[in-house]
Chains A and B, each alone.
Chain A
Amino acid sequence: MDQPHPHRNPMPAPALVATDISKSFISGIVKIQVLNKLSLSVLPAELTLIAGPSGCGKSTLLSIMSGLQYSDGGKVVALGEDLTGASMGELEKFRLRHTGFVFQGFNLFTALTAIEQVELPLNYLGVGKHEAHERALEALREVDLSHRANQFPAELSGGEKQRVAIARALAKKPQLLFADEPTSALDASSGSTVINLLHKIAREHRTTVLCVSHDPRLIQHADRVLAMEDGEIRRDWRTESDFDINEHLHATKGIH
């Protein structure tokens, strides 16, 4: 990699900061505490992977940090904006301006072609027709699917569908990209392509990519890995250096 590593000196401010967030669900008469005063900072322009077994709370953490769901307590600051007291409408506006999502299910409209899927969110952003088309085409080119732009989801493979979903998120030029189990429904080869794409987006677009997965194959592709278990982060390490993120954050922000 010719580019300087983005988190090297000087250390950028975290793009996402969660402080003491808690979340519980009621199941029947049982209250399940999914997250318990969890704190976390995510640095910009890198791929951070939250890994852990099913049910450990990683998807709940992602939904709270991305503004999809409210926490029961604690505080979430994304790109300097406090999401904690924001209304649903304010959260929608925040997501529209700043975030992209990639889900395990590709969730593509069966009636739209690949390029229309990508153009659609741009329409809601108020991007003009011509520009939306150009940006959608560029995003599809980036995921190497421009030749499939006019295909419907039924005509695409699972890996191609997920790449369309990534292009859909990417075309918005988001500063934050959230991915929930993006490779779980894919074979090894497609999964590898998808995670490499996410990594490339973090490096080249300087997008903060927060990915949750229980797929161990992804660990080697991430810049930073947070191992989660029972609603807590048990381990936090970087894959390409011996840089101790916890030590840095303690020193700079007093977090975690």
Chain B
Amino acid sequence: MVSLARKSLQREWPRYLPAVLAICFAGVMLFMQAALMLGIFGSAAVYVTKSSSDLWVGYPGTQSVSQGRAISADVETLLRMNPNITAVEPMQWVDGDWRSPHTNGGVSVYVIGINPNQDGQIFDQALDASLRPLLLEPGAVIVDRADLGQLGVESGSRAKIDGKSVHVVATTTGLRALGGVNVISSVETACQLTSCNDKNRAAYWVAKLKDPKNAATVRSQLLGKPAFGTYDIWSASEFAQRSQFYFLLDTGAGGAFLLMTIIVVGVGLVVASQALIAVVISSAREYATLNALGAGMAALRRVVLEQAAWIGGIGLLFSAGVSLLLLMLAHSRDVSVEAPPAMIMVWAGVVLGIAMISGLWAMRGLLRADPALLLR
């Protein structure tokens, strides 16, 4: 069987190059956009996803981790009374103004006060066991190494938060924040640094369960106890999702992402289909001859679709290669990017979809393949 589509692509590849490049361009744009968005979504919930807590207790109606308001320490008692809970600790969340000799003006920072002991739950997946005890020193803070430039410090430097001295004792990675800089300290340091009026209040209380599968049951056991203050409880996955959706829907980022996706898909479709239709039209007389010889229009349409599939496949491979390089570059520059398998599958489907829709669109070119026109 002579594969007209494949042989045309092999031997006349320059004619198909614009279509392949259009698919490749759209593919890279979509991939990086999705990876960046997922990376940013990840940043919104990094406090939850890089911690081992099973339940989060915070102020009712809290939309994302960064929106936390202090709640009473009475909740701690409630948590500790439940036999399904094995560990409880507070997490402080306070805003601060960072100044160092190397910054022009202040930098908004989020001071996250955590348990500095080895059994601490918050950021136990982000901080090395060797780093956590460093926070026991009063005024000690750890920051993401990618934020050092913005903060105007190096590891070991000193700076001020709200006029109080801090010491950057170490750096870590993967803890970049949205709209500010995460500064990790002990709960005590966080309280000392900021206007922490009541040491017994915290933005969140987190708990570990004997069996994380029982999160929903334990949650229902703990809710509806007004004697312990005003609070609400979420499982870790629920709170992470809540934080990401807040960022996606309420900040307008989701709309921007959707708009950009539509634009990229639209541009990819238009360029790829135009390139493909130009190739089809340039061979219209040959297609018409085949039709005169009895090859049905359906068979000719299959040729165009096969070409589109090849173009999609090749464009996908190219864009995967380029995206991989960009992903590595982003990682090396500590830019938050994530490309989970599910995203890659959806992305590949969308890119191939663009190619196939372009092929369907390019079928219009076959309207010119009327064999009767060859006789005029």
Contacts and interface: CB of A to CB of B under 8 A. Distances in A.
A108 B375 contact: no
A215 to B, nearest CB: 16
Interface of B: 1-2, 4, 7-8, 10-12, 283, 285-286, 288-297, 299, 371-372, 374-376
Interface stretch (A115-123, A237-245, A247-255): A115-123
Given A109-B8, A112-B4, A119-B2, A103 B289 contact: yes
Interface in A79-115: 88-89, 92-97, 99-101, 103-105, 107-112
A22 interface: no
B2 A107 contact: no
Nearest to B292: A101
Nearest to A70: B372
Contacts of B294: 92-97, 99, 121, 124-125, 172
A169 interface: yes
B285 A99 contact: no
A105 B2 contact: no
B375 A89 contact: no
Contacts of B374: 103-105, 107, 180
Nearest to B284: A107
A19 to B, nearest CB: 20
A92 B296 contact: yes
Contact of A108 (B8, B286, B297, B371): B286
B285 A89 contact: no
Interface of A: 59-60, 62-63, 66, 68-69, 88-89, 92-97, 99-101, 103-105, 107-112, 116, 119-121, 123-125, 129, 152, 168-169, 172, 180
Contacts of A121: 290, 293-295
B2 A59 contact: no
A95 B296 CA distance: 10
Contacts of A125: 294
22 contacts: A59-B376, A68-B292, A89-B296, A92-B295, A96-B295, A99-B292, A99-B293, A99-B294, A100-B293, A104-B374, A107-B288, A109-B8, A111-B8, A111-B11, A112-B2, A116-B2, A116-B7, A121-B295, A123-B2, A124-B299, A152-B11, A180-B375
B328 to A, nearest CB: 37
Nearest to B12: A111
A100 B290 CA distance: 10
Contacts of A108: 286
